[in-house]
């Protein structure tokens, strides 16, 4: 679902401004998840001990992630963006050393090298264009690092609220800067009124599937499984993102994309797959 979401977002951002799109994502996703929590009989509240951790997790998991990927997708191809974004598990494994006290092994360092080599394959064919306008790659790469920080911080804290509430509150709290900036940057009403039927249906997919169901699933996995095991599941996302972008919206699928994809997946596998005892 997240893999298909990359070409879907690219389609939507062809007609909707970034700020308006991300306001819809955070607002709809957050309210829908909290509504589901309330419908299941939960009391909607934020315990005092969860408030400060929620602010930090929301900043990294939502605000910086949504802004970075939104800006990046307006500049670079969706398939490439998905590969760069899902270097997240490598960065998470590296960040877990100082934050969670995990040991930085040779495998993790080699995984970082492979991940950076994968990024190099993407940048190399358009190196001159990258030097002229590096914002797209750097935005998505920064979003990946931000998501890694948020994942590690989310794993570090013992939450007293449900998965639906944790997912919903993150989207609403992290979306506050985006909500404030959107009327200044865009005209949301005019932008929504001008979109085509195709983009409107694609937007529904993004909001309902990616921002509600998949978001809840990811937070649930991080809470109930070891962080490395949960992150292994994300290895499939750039694979689906690259091939679905080629199939659905006609993006280029060449040797550079395939080589980058292979190196990034190898890096994630090297860092995260359990070794035999």
Distance separating alpha carbons of residues 93 and 104, to the nearest angstrom:
8
Which pLDDT does position 214 carry in this prediction? Answer: 93
Question: Does the pLDDT value for residue 277 go beyond 60?
Answer: no
Which pLDDT does position 259 carry in this prediction? Answer: 86
Closest CA to 11 of 55, 77, 60, 65: 77
Q: What is the pLDDT of residues 110-147, one digit of tens each?
A: 887 888 788 777 777 767 766 666 888 899 999 999 99
Which pLDDT does position 95 carry in this prediction? Answer: 82
Report, as an integer, the average pLDDT of 51-69: 94
Q: Who has greater pLDDT, 253 or 29?
A: 29
Q: Sorting pLDDT into bands at 50, 70 and 90, what band is 42?
A: very high
Which pLDDT does position 32 carry in this prediction? Answer: 96
Which pLDDT does position 130 carry in this prediction? Answer: 66
Q: Which of 6-15, 163-172, 203-212, 259-268 has the lowest mean pLDDT?
A: 259-268
Question: Does the pLDDT value for residue 275 go beyond 70?
Answer: no
Q: What is the pTM of this model?
A: 0.83
Report, as an integer, the average pLDDT of 215-242: 79
Which pLDDT does position 229 carry in this prediction? Answer: 64
The pLDDT mean for the chain works out to 87
| Residues 233/221, Cβ–Cβ less than 8 Å | yes
Report, as an integer, the average pLDDT of 158-172: 94
Residue 173 in tokens: 């709290």
Q: What is the pLDDT of residues 190-203, one digit of tens each?
A: 999 999 999 999 99
Which pLDDT does position 250 carry in this prediction? Answer: 87
Share of the chain above pLDDT 70, in %: 92
Distance separating alpha carbons of residues 146 and 61, to the nearest angstrom:
7
């Amino acid at each position: 679902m997240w893999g298909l979401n990359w070409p879907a977002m690219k389609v939507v951002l062809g007609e909707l401004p970034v700020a308006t799109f991300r306001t819809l994502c955070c607002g709809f996703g957050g309210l829908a998840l909290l509504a589901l929590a309330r419908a299941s009989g939960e009391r909607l509240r934020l315990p005092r001990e969860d408030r400060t951790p929620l602010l930090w997790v929301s900043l990294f998991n939502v605000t910086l992630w949504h802004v970075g990927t939104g800006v990046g997708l307006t500049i670079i191809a969706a398939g490439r963006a998905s590969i760069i974004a899902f270097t997240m598990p490598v960065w998470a494994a590296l960040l877990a050393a100082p934050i969670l006290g995990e040991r930085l092994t040779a495998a993790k360092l080699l995984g970082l090298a492979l991940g950076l080599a994968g990024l190099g394959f993407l940048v190399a064919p358009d190196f001159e264009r990258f030097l002229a306008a590096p914002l797209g790659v750097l935005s998505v790469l920064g979003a990946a690092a931000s998501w890694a920080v948020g994942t590690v911080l989310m794993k570090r804290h013992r939450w007293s609220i449900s998965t639906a509430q944790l997912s919903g509150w993150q989207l609403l709290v992290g979306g506050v800067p985006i909500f404030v900036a959107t009327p200044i940057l865009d005209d949301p009403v005019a932008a929504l009124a001008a979109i085509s039927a195709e983009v409107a249906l694609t937007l529904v997919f993004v909001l309902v599937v990616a921002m509600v169901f998949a978001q809840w699933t990811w937070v649930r996995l991080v809470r109930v499984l070891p962080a490395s095991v949960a992150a292994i599941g994300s290895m499939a996302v750039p694979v689906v993102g690259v091939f679905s972008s080629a199939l659905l919206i006609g993006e280029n699928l060449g040797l550079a994309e395939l080589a980058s994809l292979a190196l990034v997946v190898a890096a994630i596998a090297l860092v995260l797959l359990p070794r035999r005892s």
